[in-house]
Amino acid sequence: MTQSLTGKVALVTGAAKGIGAGIAKAMAAAGASVVVNYVSDRDGAARIVAEIETAGGHAVAMQADIVVVAEVEHLCAAAVARFGRLDILVNNASVFAFAALEQTTDAHLRTMLDTNLWGTIITCRAALKHFGTHGGSIINIGSMSSERFAAGAVAYTATKAGVTGVTGVLAVELAARGIRVNQINPGAVDTEGARAIGAMSDEARAAYTARTPLGRVGTPADIASVAVFLASDAAGWITGECLAVSGGLR
Residues acting as catalytic residues = 156
DSSP 3-state of 150: coil
104, 25 contact by CB (below 8 A): no
DSSP 3-state of 140: strand
Name the residue type at position 231. Answer: A
Closest CA to 33 of 10, 52, 54, 16: 10
187, 244 contact by CB (below 8 A): yes
- Containing H/E element for 32? none
CA distances from 88 to 37, 40, 154 (A): 13, 23, 30
178, 135 contact by CB (below 8 A): yes
